[in-house]
Amino acid sequence: MREWLVVAAIALGFGILASFASEEPGWFALANFGLAAAAVVLGTLQVAFRARHASAPAFRRPVALGLARVAVALLAAVAFERAVAAADVQLDWTFERKFQPAPATLDALAALCERGELDALLFGDAFDPRRRSTRLLLQTLAARSCLTFEERLLGADSSEEDRYGVGTSNTVVLRQRVSGKPEHVELIERPTEGALFEVFSLLASREGGLLWIARGAGEGNVESGAPTGYSGLASALVTEGYELHQFVGAATGEIPADVAAVLWIAPERTLPAEALAALDAYLARGGRLVAMLEPGPAGGLEELLGRWGIEPAGGVVVDPASATIEGCVPGLCPLVYAYATSHPIARGLDDTRMTFFRGARSFRLRKPDVEDRLVAVALASLRSWIEPDLGALGRSTPPVRPADETGDYHPLLVAGSYPRDGRETRIVAIGDKDFASNQNLRGLYNLDLAVNAVHWVAAREPAITLRPKVAVSGRMQFPIPLQNTFTRFQSLGLLLPEALLIVAALVWARTRSA
């Protein structure tokens, strides 16, 4: 038996090696597989011949019992593996936690699944390492939704690649089939979770309503792709289903009641009285407003907000819990981890899901009516205080805490709801505009706070969620200091094996002398 087994093992090994070496198994591999099979058959016959004693009644029972044990073990092993696989329990130990789909991704997928079928084709080269990550990502999403997933080797079927326009490895083709409609195909060439989420959201084509964005008085520009622009925010809002419409405040006599919400990003110049009156009238009719204000004059919005019980405080918030970001004066970039988590805007945010602001102002809240509800949603830390001198924003050194200043929570984002005559006006005021600029929007959870604020104001609470974060592969691209690791290599990587080898030598010597 044993000689046949050795022959079979050697032949099989060489057959497998030859198969791995070439894509198609050649004559050499096939001949080796044949030899291995023949050796196994001969070995089995030999074993059967030797086991003829087992036919004796005295030996049947132990053999049958032994075989039964093996069969039970096999069945138990398969059943256990299948049961655990069905439970689908997996832990994400990646540095960026990239295989825990964001709630927003799953929500968008669920919306798509309600409409029809969705499948994904991953095209990749056999040796493309990115394919593994994408495969796992798609498998994770497929396990939690109706998405089906198949993998294709790039170049295997050029007609399929031509049909979908696939040109590079690690490309995903998403196909949506809704009854009564032609198949919708989307091509994703860098399939991160964020990219997939955007496509899922667009395919789900959720109706968010019309969002008016003010311009003409130095407001933030939603068309600008510069770091200080807001094109990122605009793009995110479109992804979430909003139709954007820019309007010039000074030239607008009336804001229509069917506008889902108005977004006013920190006017630098004083707004004309007509614009403020139009906004006031719109809010009085149950309108919705998201206003971002920078420290200092806010073009007249401060008076309007004051009438709704949101009084912008002067000065700038100084918080020792400040983000260390390039170009940021220490203390003036509050790192926010205190949220009113009962409020829908802060859903999912907690002290590990922080946001940060750049030179922010605070608000004082005073309810105009007993039925109104004013909530400080995001607050600077308990150690924060207000520096009245706005000149601190231009200096590079942090402001000094006054001796009598004990610190307090200072609201940086507040939300107000005002039931009036069967309608509800909603206002969100944010004491900073920079937190949503292109430069900072994708940092921490700023995007979620900004978009969720718009969702709440537009009465789209079900759409409030946390979105996939940009993969921080940059962290995985940090060099590991070689000098230090060289020291470790010598002290642990080499010294430990050396010590073990010495022990082995001593054991060997002692064995020989014994």
Partner 1 sequence: MTRFRALVKKELATLFASPLAYLALTLVMLVTALIFFDHLRIYNQILFLYASNTMGGFESDTIPDHINVRDSVFFPVLETLGITLIALIPVITMRVFAEERARGTDELLLTTHLSPGQIVGAKFLVTYAFVVLMMAGSFVYPAMATVEGGIGAEHLLAVFVGLSLHALGLASLGLACSAWSSSQLVAAVASWAVGFVLWDFAWAGPFVSERAGRLLDALSMHPRYGAFAEGIVNLEHFAYFAGLGLLCAALSRFAFDWRRVAG
Q: Which of residues 115-154 bind partner 1 (CB under 8 A)?
A: 129-130, 132-133, 136
Q: How many residues bind partner 1 (CB under 8 A)?
A: 82
Q: Which of 88, 114, 258, 326 binds partner 1 (CB under 8 A)?
A: 88
Instruction: Kindly report the number of other CB atoms within 10 A of residue 24's CB atom.
Output: 6
Stretch that binds partner 1, among 10-18, 349-357, 361-369, 449-457 (CB under 8 A): 10-18
Instruction: Kindly report the number of other CB atoms within 10 A of residue 147's CB atom.
Output: 21
Nearer to partner 1, 16 or 210 (CB): 16
168 binding partner 1? (CB under 8 A): no
- Least CB distance to partner 1 at residue 371 (A): 50
Considering only residues 488 through 507, tell me which ones interact with partner 1, judged by CB under 8 A: 488-489, 492-494, 496-497, 500-501, 503-505, 507
477 binding partner 1? (CB under 8 A): yes
Nearer to partner 1, 228 or 485 (CB): 485
Q: Which of 342, 397, 406, 484 binds partner 1 (CB under 8 A)?
A: 484
Considering only residues 246 through 275, tell me which ones interact with partner 1, judged by CB under 8 A: none
What contacts 24+ positions apart, CB below 8 Å, involve 38-47?
Answer: 39/4, 39/5, 39/7, 39/8, 39/11, 40/4, 40/5, 40/8, 42/4, 43/1, 43/4, 43/5, 43/8, 46/1, 46/4, 47/1
Instruction: Kindly report the number of other CB atoms within 10 A of residue 56's CB atom.
Output: 8
99 binding partner 1? (CB under 8 A): yes
Q: Are 164 and 185 in contact (CB under 8 A)?
A: yes
> For helices 446-457 and 231-239, what crossing angle results, to 10°?
60
- Least CB distance to partner 1 at residue 232 (A): 18
Phi and psi, residue 377, nearest 5°? -85, -45
Q: Which of 41, 95, 162, 254 binds partner 1 (CB under 8 A)?
A: 95
What contacts 24+ positions apart, CB below 8 Å, involve 399-407?
Answer: 399/318, 399/331, 399/332, 401/318, 407/381, 407/382, 407/383
- Least CB distance to partner 1 at residue 468 (A): 16
Tokens of 21: 């070496």
Considering only residues 27 through 86, tell me which ones interact with partner 1, judged by CB under 8 A: 29, 33, 47, 50-51, 53-54, 59, 62-63, 65-67, 69-70, 72-74, 76-78, 80-81, 83-85
423 binding partner 1? (CB under 8 A): no
- Least CB distance to partner 1 at residue 132 (A): 6
326 binding partner 1? (CB under 8 A): no
Nearer to partner 1, 80 or 389 (CB): 80
Nearer to partner 1, 397 or 483 (CB): 483
Q: How is the beta sheet containing 373-379 ordered, strand by strand? A: 242-248, 209-215, 261-265, 288-292, 423-430, 411-420, 373-379, 338-339
HSE (side-chain half, CA atoms, 13 Å) at 397: 3
Q: Which of 27, 89, 207, 253 binds partner 1 (CB under 8 A)?
A: 89
Residue from 170, 201, 169, 189 nearest 105 by CA: 201
- Least CB distance to partner 1 at residue 199 (A): 19
475 binding partner 1? (CB under 8 A): yes
94 binding partner 1? (CB under 8 A): yes
d(C-alpha 405, C-alpha 377), whole Å: 23
